[in-house]
Chains A and B, each alone.
Chain A
Amino acid sequence: MTLTAITEADTPFLPRGVRTKFDSVRDIWVLLAPERAVKLDPIGAAILAEVDGTRTLNEIAGGLAAKYNAPVDQIKKDAGAFLMSLIERRMVELR
Chain B
Amino acid sequence: MTMVAENETTAAPGTIPAPSVKPPMAMLAELTHRCPLACPYCSNPLEMTAIKSELKTEEWAEAFKQAAAIGVLQIHLSGGEPASRRDLEELITAARDADLYTNLITSGIGLTEKRLAALDERGLDHVQLSLQGVTAESADEIGGYKGGFDRKMAVAGWVEKQGIPLTLNAVVHRRNMDRLEETIALAQQLGARRIEVATVQFHGWAAANRAALMPTQDQALRAREIVNEARERLKGELVIDYVPADHHAKYPKPCMGGWGSTGLNITPDGTVLPCHAAQTIKGLNFDRFPEKSLRDIWYDGDAFNAFRGFDWMQEPCRSCDRRGKDFGGCRCQAMAIANDPYATDPVCSKSPFHAELVAAAEADSHADASELTYRVSPR
Contact = CB atoms under 8 A, between A and B. Distances in A.
A1 B316 CA distance: 48
Interface of B: 1-2, 4-9, 23, 25-26, 69-71, 73-74, 99, 101, 103, 125-126, 128, 163-165, 167, 193-194, 196, 235-239, 241
Contact of A25 (B70, B74, B193, B236): B70
Contact of A15 (B73, B165, B238): B165
Contacts of B99: 21
A39 B8 CA distance: 7
Give the residue among B163, B193, B241 with the most A Cβ atoms within 10 A. Answer: B193
30 contacts: A1-B237, A15-B165, A16-B165, A17-B125, A17-B164, A17-B165, A17-B193, A18-B165, A25-B69, A26-B71, A30-B73, A34-B125, A34-B167, A35-B1, A35-B2, A35-B74, A35-B103, A35-B167, A35-B194, A37-B4, A37-B6, A37-B25, A37-B26, A38-B6, A38-B8, A39-B7, A41-B8, A88-B236, A90-B193, A90-B238
A25 B73 CA distance: 10
Contact of B164 (A16, A25, A37, A90): A16
Q: What's the dominant secondary structure at chain B's contact region?
A: loop
Contacts of A18: 165
A23 B69 CA distance: 10
Interface string A14-32: 0111110101011000101
Contacts of A3: 235-237
A41 B7 CA distance: 12
Contacts of A36: 4, 6
Contacts of B194: 34-35, 90
A3 B238 CA distance: 11
Given A17-B193, A30-B73, 9 more contacts: A3-B235, A16-B165, A21-B99, A32-B73, A35-B1, A35-B128, A35-B167, A37-B4, A90-B193
Interface residues of A, number: 24
Nearest to A18: B165
Contact of A37 (B73, B196, B235, B239): B73
A60 to B, nearest CB: 20
Contacts of B69: 25
A89 interface: yes
Interface in A65-81: none
Contacts of A61: none
A18 B167 CA distance: 14
A39 B25 CA distance: 11
Contacts of A1: 236-237
B5 A17 contact: no
Contact of B5 (A15, A21, A23, A37): A37
B164 A35 contact: no
A51 interface: no
A87 interface: yes
Contacts of A15: 165
Contacts of B193: 17, 34, 90
